A and B are shown apart, each in its own frame.
Chain A
């Protein structure tokens, strides 16, 4: 296996790698599946599917609860994933990794714990105009409760955060700065390192949360290099199981945060007079967790690291460039999101064609794309469209599949000409 830190990545053999994903052999309306919806959820390699199945076949028992051997084995496999997650994102310690259902739950957790303790009336929470609803609504709920203000850094016509205006919106009142690593609707890669550095300089009282849902599948991530306080992501977008994800946070912050949900595993002792909470990260993990999903999450990390994140990024970047050029050559097609630094996403609209109609026709060609607002309605409003067609790339996609997309778009245009 190649390592994550390989300095000169070998080009991936995509044809060989596609065989790792059994679903790619599926036919849709009699045509080969062209799966261009990985930003919504990525497909799973056999090793991830096998890992989940093997848990139930070979080592399933509840974790952290039994003295019997099976429970010990399950607990060991489960806890082993914490270290994998930490290494995967360059976090200093496995104890800083909280297992959750996904990115959405992670943002809500930070809002409802750190936020409820530290955000007061008149404080400000700074986000950007390209956020997913999951990085907007939890902060709105917090602002409503506390009388705080949600401040939004604007984006330019290319879909890039206007960094000077972002900087000017930071200040003494800013308590939380939250932004995506990569925009799900536009594909813009944000300069998380620079934005965090600006936050440190101009908003010393703020914590910085990075929504990494669209970041981790496409590029190496190092939270120490970014310098943020919280980083969260979902397993299902990085070839892992659905309903699984992680929040990384600095230990001192996590230690000072109150628990979120109450229940088993998050406590040390319970009496009716007083309950003593478990230590970080267990105090945030009430109830029996997604045991098989967590272990399969570990398998998806192994899979991605085995490919090498540098190699994945290089292959996807090359394909994105090919797709951008191919789509740009189609008259009547407008790309939405043309940032200089992008990953994975080709979002576009067609003159005179509603995205839903295009989606149905492309589906008939076997092409799975997402059509709609992509849970980012403010982004749609910014570009004056109700919805877009979004083709998003995974490591298994090929130039031939982009060509099928292009031919499908031409069929859409013929029908609505």
Chain B
């Protein structure tokens, strides 16, 4: 396989794409946020439960169907945001979004260490057609945390 393609389909992504973690419904979740990518038909629902203060994400899960990039992104995101505050999670959304949309030579790619496991998605920057796949679950997270339970379904279009 060519090296660029391997940047996109790293083993971690293939693994999470085949066996997504946290693919379950959270009963009594504080947020139940549908997400939809009309371009490819990918659909999912993000579930978030909050701790007693209401500020920290106690549990996150995502149920849906999609390509390996969107499935892996939701899987790794739900692992990553567990235990994070709202602010931390929203800040991570911005960093993640910048990382996969910025030109390859920009400073953001030197800061991906901060993103830990999420940095496996840095190769998406080379594949603009796949940015929406990688961000579908993240848009659901942002909508849930900023607009609350009243948020309508998020769409990538």
Contacts and interface: CB of A to CB of B under 8 A. Distances in A.
Interface of A: 29, 352, 354-357, 360-361, 364, 371-373, 377, 380, 386-387, 411, 415-416
B52 interface: no
A364 B4 contact: yes
Nearest to B41: A386
Contacts of B71: 354
Contacts of A360: 5, 8, 127, 129-130
A372 B9 contact: no
A387 B66 CA distance: 10
29 contacts: A352-B18, A354-B66, A354-B68, A356-B42, A356-B69, A356-B130, A356-B133, A357-B9, A357-B17, A357-B67, A357-B68, A357-B69, A360-B5, A360-B8, A360-B129, A360-B130, A361-B9, A364-B4, A364-B5, A372-B41, A373-B40, A377-B41, A386-B40, A386-B41, A386-B42, A387-B40, A387-B41, A415-B1, A416-B14
Contacts of A357: 9, 17, 67-69
Nearest to B130: A360
A377 B43 CA distance: 14
Given A357-B67, A360-B5, 7 more contacts: A354-B67, A355-B67, A356-B69, A372-B39, A386-B40, A386-B41, A386-B42
Interface in B2-46: 2, 4-5, 8-9, 14, 17-18, 39-43
**What 3 pairs between A and B have smallest CB-CB spacing?**
A354-B67, A386-B41, A356-B67
Contacts of B18: 352, 416
Nearest to A30: B2
A361 B67 CA distance: 12
Interface of B: 1-2, 4-5, 8-9, 14, 17-18, 39-43, 65-69, 71, 127, 129-130, 133
Nearest to B9: A415
Contacts of A387: 40-41
A352 B68 CA distance: 10
A224 B133 CA distance: 47
A352 B65 CA distance: 12
A227 to B, nearest CB: 37
A372 B2 contact: no
Nearest to A29: B2
Contacts of B5: 360-361, 364
Nearest to A377: B41
A416 B72 CA distance: 13
B59 to A, nearest CB: 27
Contacts, number: 53
B11 to A, nearest CB: 11
B4 to A, nearest CB: 7
Contacts of A380: 41
Contacts of B129: 360
B41 A411 contact: no
A357 B127 CA distance: 12
A415 B67 CA distance: 14
Contacts of B130: 356, 360
Contacts of B127: 360
A372 B40 contact: yes
A137 to B, nearest CB: 14
Contacts of A373: 40-41
B39 to A, nearest CB: 6
A131 B10 CA distance: 38
A157 to B, nearest CB: 21
A355 B69 CA distance: 12
Contact of B68 (A371, A386, A416): A416
Contacts of B42: 356, 386
Nearest to B68: A357
Nearest to B132: A356
A380 B40 CA distance: 11
Contact of A355 (B14, B17, B40, B43): B40
Nearest to A353: B68
A411 B67 CA distance: 17
Nearest to B43: A386
B2 A386 contact: no
